[in-house]
Structure 1
Amino acid sequence: MSTVVAIETPTGVAIAGDTRVIDGGAVSSDQFQRVFDLSGVGVGVAGESAAVREFWRSFEIALRDRGLESGDAPGVDAVARMTARETENAGVDAVVGALDADGAASLRRVSGDGRVLEADAVALGTGSRVALGLLEALDEEEAASDPERAVRDVLETVIAKDVDTGGDVDVWTLGSAARIERDGRDLENEEEAEE
């Protein structure tokens, strides 16, 4: 499957996901994208690779239909409602990040049955038990000073402990700037290799 982790801090939010795909008990790819950025909206998706692709296609269309191309990103609650419809259809779990009504970066956890929850820390997928324990143990000040480093460190620890989690680490952040990075390289608009 995969692992996705996210945190919300006073300075911003960060979502990280691994890039491994397991098919039939074997690694079929270590370059699969499950963390996405679209004009100030970030999403991390845990689920089977075909379902993640199905979710992203539908979700991207829904966001663009909301006028994202004009630069007017919807708030986190509107994004979460759109995400809920698409997670139900695709059978995946997701976490979304966007600005709230007050202009602060916020997270919402969206389950495969369409439930939406506010959350300061989210762990999804095969390594979620290990990740949640690590997220709960984070030093709040350190996490707030560098949310990206915090989620990257958590996911790298999960990669060392969960065989279904691996490959590279993609990170999306929202605060002073929004971007996706893989091991320090900017991936905005870069196409990922198909499995």
Structure 2
Amino acid sequence: MSTVVAVETPTGIAIAGDTQVVDGESVSSDQFQRVFDVRGVGVGVVGESGAVQQFRQWFDVALQDRGFEGDDTIDIDAVARIAARETERAGVDAVVGAHDDDGAASLRQIASDGRVLDSGVAALGTGSAVALGLLEALDMDEAANDPATAVRNVLETVMERDVDTGGEIDVWTLGSADQAEQGVRRFGEEEAER
């Protein structure tokens, strides 16, 4: 199933996921994207690969239908309600990131039954138990300096311990409303060794 982790800090949020797909007992892909940007909303999704792709499509259409176009009008609570309907429909678990009413970057975890959880950390998938322990042990002051590195380090440790988590790592980041930088970046073995 793979693993997605996310952290919310005072300076921004980061969502990371691995790129491996396991079918039965063999790896069928090391390049599957489960962390992506949809109209300015960061999303990390775990579930069967077809269901993840279906969720992404449905979520994109739902945001478009409601007029979300990746600008400052996106609110995390509205996004979470939309995502909740689509996770339930697709049968996946997800975490979404966007700005809140005050312009701060914020996370919501959404279960496959549509429940929305407001938490500063999230761990989904087969490596979630290991990841959650690591996320809860994070030094949040240090994580605030570089949320992307914090989640990447957590996911690298999970990859060492969970056979269903592997491949490369995609990381989506978002700062406060006055910071323009956001998007997905892929980290492979070359970057991890630096």
TM-score, with length taken from structure 2? 0.92
Q: Counterparts of 1:1-195 in structure 2 under 5 Å?
A: 1-69=1-69, 71=71, 73-175=73-175, 176=179, 177-183=181-187
RMSD of aligned alpha carbons: 1.2
Letter in 1 for 2:186: R
SS in 2 for 1:69: coil
Question: Does the C-alpha gap of structure 1 residues 70 and 180 become closer, same or farther in structure 2, counting only changes over 3 Å?
Answer: closer
In 2: Cα distance, 1:4 partner to 1:114 partner: 18
SS in 1 for 2:131: helix
User: Which shows bigger deviation, 15-24 or 65-74?
Assistant: 65-74
Give unpaired runs (5+ residues) of structure 2. Answer: 189-194
Contact persistence 1:40–1:73 (CA under 8 A): no
Cα distance, 1:156 vs structure 2: 0.6
Contact persistence 1:40–1:174 (CA under 8 A): no
Q: Percent same amino acid among aligned pairs? A: 68
In 2: Cα distance, 1:144 partner to 1:105 partner: 12
Cα distance, 1:3 vs structure 2: 0.1
Cα distance, 1:72 vs structure 2: 5.1
Cα distance, 1:140 vs structure 2: 1.1
In 1: Cα distance, 2:104 partner to 2:187 partner: 26
User: Which shows bigger deviation, 127-136 or 37-46?
Assistant: 37-46
Contact persistence 1:76–1:100 (CA under 8 A): yes
Cα distance, 1:40 vs structure 2: 2.4
In 2: Cα distance, 1:73 partner to 1:131 partner: 32
Name the residue aligned to 2:191.
none
SS in 1 for 2:88: helix
In 2: Cα distance, 1:169 partner to 1:142 partner: 20
Give unpaired runs (5+ residues) of structure 1. Answer: 185-195
Name the residue aligned to 1:192.
none
TM-score, with length taken from structure 1? 0.91
